[in-house]
Structure 1
Amino acid sequence: MVSRADRGRVADWFWTIDRYFLFVFVLLMGIGFMLSFAASPAVAERIGASEFHFVTKHAEFLLPALMVMIGVSFMTPKTVRRTAVIMLIVSLTLMVLVLFIGVEVKGSRRWISLGPLGIQASEFMKPAFIVVCAWLFAEHQKQPEIPGNLFAILLYGIVVALLVAEPDLGQTILTTSVWGGMFFMAGMPWLWITLMAVFAVGGLTSAYILLPHVAARIDKFLTGEGDTFQVDTARQAIFRGGWFGQGPGEGQMKKIIPDAHTDFVFSVAAEEFGIIFCMALVALFAFIVMRGLSIAYREKDPFNRFAISGLVLQFGIQSFINVGVNLELLPAKGMTLPFISYGGSSMIAICITAGFILALTRHRPETRSRERSLFSIAHGHPAE
């Protein structure tokens, strides 16, 4: 057991970390690993791989991802900012390269091969983009002469342009939603907010007109006509599960659901473990968002406030999109369920996001005490 009297770095981390966040993040990782046993063997069989191919791969990513999350949680807010800047530069560079040398999958170029590794650069861009924009919004709020808001808008334009070029409409919508929430929290004038809303509507309309696959998905969602096999099968799996599920390993729809281990793992969970289990899973994601926003509301530092809010919004909105598609409440769109879906890039990237949240929400009484002491000395009062 680590003593409170021990002021080493590990002891300091242990006593200052938000244990609720840490527990929920690790719990979700465990649930994701458990569901990989339920969802992935059928997919592996369809592609001719060994039964536990994806389970093994999931396990291989799990420990490094956990280590990344814990390592990042040791950072100070200043280190978080610097790390995010480097991550953003690297990920944007890779997103440019992926347009020319990326691997094309289903008509989109989102992956780039670096030796034996396949990396989806946009996954790593998201947390870095949120932190850097939070920094820009905060600097403008503290020093209005710094055009932080303008830089955040320009950066958003660059990111969206690269996502559209891949194309990746789902990540574009996610990034826009999170950035829009931070934009609103930063206290932007209503005129700017209205202009951004008009821009978002115009972007969606243009995507519908110019991108046939986007129009097809929206039309299928609105009319129910055409190839709706994925969402229909996912919905049937949820109905079959009922309140308490068919039991572990007893699901049948996973054998025919495409991407059962990634985009539609929620439906597999519903069939085998039931609606109550899925409601508990949704409650965990809601807890992350609500606790994060509650902590951000009490934060005095604007950077911490914006960054925490943006990072937990990413969790919430990404989860909402994935679950909404599974429940046929949203048009079909590939979007992983954080910590739950299979995927190396998404797992590592979401653990970086979680690590940022843990780092920024740590209690720092010594820092606050030092700040009060310096304030007292500066004003001629004895330090407490």
Structure 2
Amino acid sequence: MVSRAERTQFAGWWWTVDRWLLAVFAIVSMLGVIFLMAASPAVAERLGRPTFFFVDHQVMLLVPAAILMVATSFLTPRDIRRAALIVYVGGMVLVVCTLFFAVEIQGAKRWLWGIQPSEFVKPAFEVVAAWAFSEGAKRRDVPANILAMLLLPVTIVPLILEPDFGQTMLITLVWAVLFFMAGLHWFWVGGIGGVGALGVLIAYRFDDHIHARIQQFLYPNTATKSGLLDRFQIDTGHDAMVSGGWLGLGPGEGVVKRYLPDAHTDMIPSVIVEEFGFVALIVVVLLFGFIVLRGLYLSSKNEDPFCRFAIAGLTLQFGIQSAINIAVNLQLMPAKGMTLPFISYGGSSLLSLGLSAGFLIALTRRRPRSEIHSGISAHGGNV
């Protein structure tokens, strides 16, 4: 047990960190391994891999993700701004490189050397945008709000070109909330919303990939009969949920999951329902709901504008991403290619989520105001 009398960095971290958030992140990660044990063996066998190939890899990746989360949570707000700026610039360079050098997979260029750079851009963007908005709120003589407004198109245009409309939607929604929190005029909010709607219409009209996804969602029967679109994955996920019902068929007893192509990634909520029931999915929703409510509560209590904005942005990332993933599985939204945080299989996703959680835990630590602004630990030294 760590004593309050200890003056070590770890003791200072332990008694200032929000242990509720830390505990929920750990619970969700452990549930992810359990659910992946149910969802991934059939996929692994189809691909000629060992039965627990994806489970083993997920556990191996959880170790560096946890280390990254804890290490990042020791940083001061000043250090977080610097780290986020470095990650953002590096991530955007790699995103641009994917447009020229990545191999196209399922109609999109998102992967470079086994890495999905856009995953790391997300948390970095949220922190950098919060930084810009907070500077604009504190110093009206600094054109930080203009920089924050330019930051959005600079970030999402390369993502649209990949195309990756799931990440684009997530980043835009988080940015819009930060925009609103910064107290900018409703005229701009409405104008940006209109531009976003126009962008969706243009993408629907001229991008075959997006047109197909939306058509598949709006006119499922027509799309299936015409042979224009493949609804196999969405329909199979729906069948899995119907098969599971409220209480599920039991661990390892799922049948429909054997035919679900992305059972271990985007469609894992369908497998959760088939084997563990809607009750289990509701538990997952409540856990993410707790993260959102806890994060927004801590954001509202923070007096520093940067910390307040960044906490809200990072919190909403977890909430919006999980909501999009579950909504797609429930056929409430067109397919987006969005993972369920800490539960879906994916190296880039897991590591970037570890970074996001680390940023969030660091910014929600109970610190003296002098430490927030100076970047010096209250226990003597940089953290």
- Whether contact under 8 Å (2:175, 2:313) holds in the other structure is yes
Q: 2:35 — aligned with what?
A: 35
- The amino acid of 1:102's aligned partner reads A
Q: 2:378 — aligned with what?
A: none
Which residue, out of 211, 216, 223, partners 2:212? 216
Gaps of at least 5 residues in structure 2 are 224-229, 375-383
Q: 1:375 — aligned with what?
A: none
Q: 2:195 — aligned with what?
A: 199
- The amino acid of 1:192's aligned partner reads W
Give the Cα–Cα distance (whole angstroms) in 1 for the partners of residues 338 and 243 of structure 2: 23
> Once the 2 structures are TM-superposed, how far is the Cα of residue 98 of structure 1 from its aligned partner?
1.1
- Whether contact under 8 Å (2:78, 2:373) holds in the other structure is no
Which residue, out of 326, 329, 336, partners 1:326? 329
Give the Cα–Cα distance (whole angstroms) in 2 for the partners of residues 162 and 321 of structure 1: 21
Give the Cα–Cα distance (whole angstroms) in 1 for the partners of residues 103 and 181 of structure 2: 37
Q: 2:142 — aligned with what?
A: 146
Q: 1:294 — aligned with what?
A: 297
1:239-278 equivalences under 5 Å are 239-278=242-281
3-state DSSP class of the match of 2:104?
strand
Give the Cα–Cα distance (whole angstroms) in 2 for the partners of residues 40 and 171 of structure 1: 24
Q: 1:350 — aligned with what?
A: 353
Q: 2:97 — aligned with what?
A: 97
Equivalenced residues, count: 367
- Whether contact under 8 Å (2:135, 2:142) holds in the other structure is yes
- Between 1 and 2, higher relative CO (CA 8 Å, sep ≥ 6) is seen in 2
> Once the 2 structures are TM-superposed, how far is the Cα of residue 129 of structure 1 from its aligned partner?
0.3
Give the Cα–Cα distance (whole angstroms) in 2 for the partners of residues 224 and 166 of structure 1: 25
Q: How large is the RMSD of aligned CA atoms in angstroms?
A: 1.4
Give the Cα–Cα distance (whole angstroms) in 2 for the partners of residues 236 and 106 of structure 1: 23
Which residue, out of 150, 162, 165, partners 1:169? 165
Give the Cα–Cα distance (whole angstroms) in 1 for the partners of residues 335 and 97 of structure 2: 27
Give the Cα–Cα distance (whole angstroms) in 2 for the partners of residues 365 and 175 of structure 1: 31
Q: CA separation of 1:190/1:48 partners in 2, compared to 1, >3 Å: closer, same or farther?
A: same
Is 1:190 equivalent to 2:186 in the alignment?
Answer: yes
Give the Cα–Cα distance (whole angstroms) in 2 for the partners of residues 163 and 249 of structure 1: 37
Q: 1:234 — aligned with what?
A: 237
Is 1:136 equivalent to 2:139 in the alignment?
Answer: no
> Once the 2 structures are TM-superposed, how far is the Cα of residue 101 of structure 1 from its aligned partner?
1.2
Q: 2:68 — aligned with what?
A: 68
Q: CA separation of 1:131/1:368 partners in 2, compared to 1, >3 Å: closer, same or farther?
A: closer
Percent identity, aligned pairs only, is: 50
- The amino acid of 1:95's aligned partner reads V
Gaps of at least 5 residues in structure 1 are 372-384
Is 1:81 equivalent to 2:81 in the alignment?
Answer: yes
Q: 1:24 — aligned with what?
A: 24
> Once the 2 structures are TM-superposed, how far is the Cα of residue 96 of structure 1 from its aligned partner?
1.1
- Structure 1 range deviating more: 43-52 or 260-269: 43-52
